[in-house]
Chain A
Amino acid sequence: MFNPTSAYPLSQYWMHTIAADTIVQYYFNDNSKGIDPFVGPVYKNQPKALLRTMDDDGGAMSAWYVFAAMGLYPAVVGEPVYYLHVPQFQSIDLPISGNSRFRIHIKNYNPRHKYIKSLYLDGKPYTKNYLLHSDIMKGGQLIIETAENINGANTQLETWRSKYQ
């Protein structure tokens, strides 16, 4: 939700955290019902895979996880825009067609790094915090340099805002 604002590094933090880190979730927010909070990762590769009250929503939540793990976040339904954050893996290949592919690669991979320091698209510095679907479908390579702390995050990236207000 911070992505369209100047505070988009916070979105980078939360996407990384919710996708893979241990989270603490209170029910009814203020814990007024006295139910023990959920502590653990949201997604697990086992039958009991999701939070207590969460279902897979027709595959939507699994798809959300796949996007989150790839470092892409669909900005809004119907717009071909993906906000960027740090992927869970050092290198991700998206096969496009034939031998063509789009690669997302982290230059200084570290699981603790949650912030984007700099971006390079096909070797050139890239100054936006989003990709268009057409950028991916062209094939190519996005290199991400990461930062461990928010102080190291790039705050000069151009962001994308929906024309629907």
Chain B
Amino acid sequence: MSYKAIKLSIAALLAGGTLQAQNNNLVQYVNPLIGTAKMGHTYPGATVPFGAVQLSPDTDTIPYAGPDGKYTGTAYRYCAGYQYDDPTIVGFSHTHFSGTGHSDLGDFLIMPTTGQLQLNPGTADKPETGYRSRFSHSNEVAAPNYYKVKLDDHNILAEMTTTTRVGVHQYTFPKSDDAHIILDLMHGIYNYDDKNTWTFVRVENDTLITGYKQTHGWAKTRTVYFAMSFSKPIQSYGYAQFKSRYTRASGDGLM
């Protein structure tokens, strides 16, 4: 079986700090999985000190509030996007809070897939109904600024690291006639109807995509921008536009 790796880097233009020199001897003791179960609200993904990018897996899409506007209690478990006991990964988004008692962010979710193209995340109990994938902790490595996991449903090895402003993805695909990279601009943490006030994407050429989104969440009228470059040219692309009133948990909403 032959494998091909696609490298992908996303530069997010956000305010940020500077990279500090670290003593490598101490880094081996860091365990990013501490606090990822229950209510620790930490994430296991890749980031650097004062980095503008926190590239980390999100394990569910529980909205902050349903269509009736009522707060969803279980959303509180997903302040950092990741719950250790969850069986699936929806994708890898570029911004996360660590250990907060409220939440937001989860911008620019990327998910590599194989097989039938699906534009909906699907549900945790039926991951095959969407682009999400089952995973296992035995195939997962979380280290300072490095995260690796095997996406079982797609047979893809996902690896990621970051710089101060760039999230670097490396996906090793199996040989397949049908392979995709999903970019979900509507995904978010503490998402709710109309939280995304504007999302925009432009395909500049066969290796570059740019775009931005504006959200009305914890931070009002927050705008984040990205430029996404691929190590292999895009063969074809497409998009789905969703109704403005759209609840991810219900799984419907395609126009």
A: residues with CB less than 8 A from B are 44-50, 52-62, 95
Contacts and interface: CB of A to CB of B under 8 A. Distances in A.
B17 interface: no
A144 B84 CA distance: 40
Contacts of B36: 47
A62 to B, nearest CB: 8
A46 B34 contact: yes
Interface of A, secondary structure class, is loop
Given A47-B37, A48-B84, A50-B39, A56 B31 contact: no
A59 B31 CA distance: 13
B39 A55 contact: yes
A137 to B, nearest CB: 17
Interface string B35-57: 11111111000000000000000
A46 B85 CA distance: 13
Nearest to A55: B41
Contacts of B41: 55-56
Contacts of A95: 23
Nearest to B33: A47
B34 A55 contact: no
B39 A54 contact: yes
A52 B184 CA distance: 32
Contact of B99 (A46, A47, A53, A59): A59
Nearest to A57: B99
Given A47-B84, A48-B84, A57 B100 contact: yes
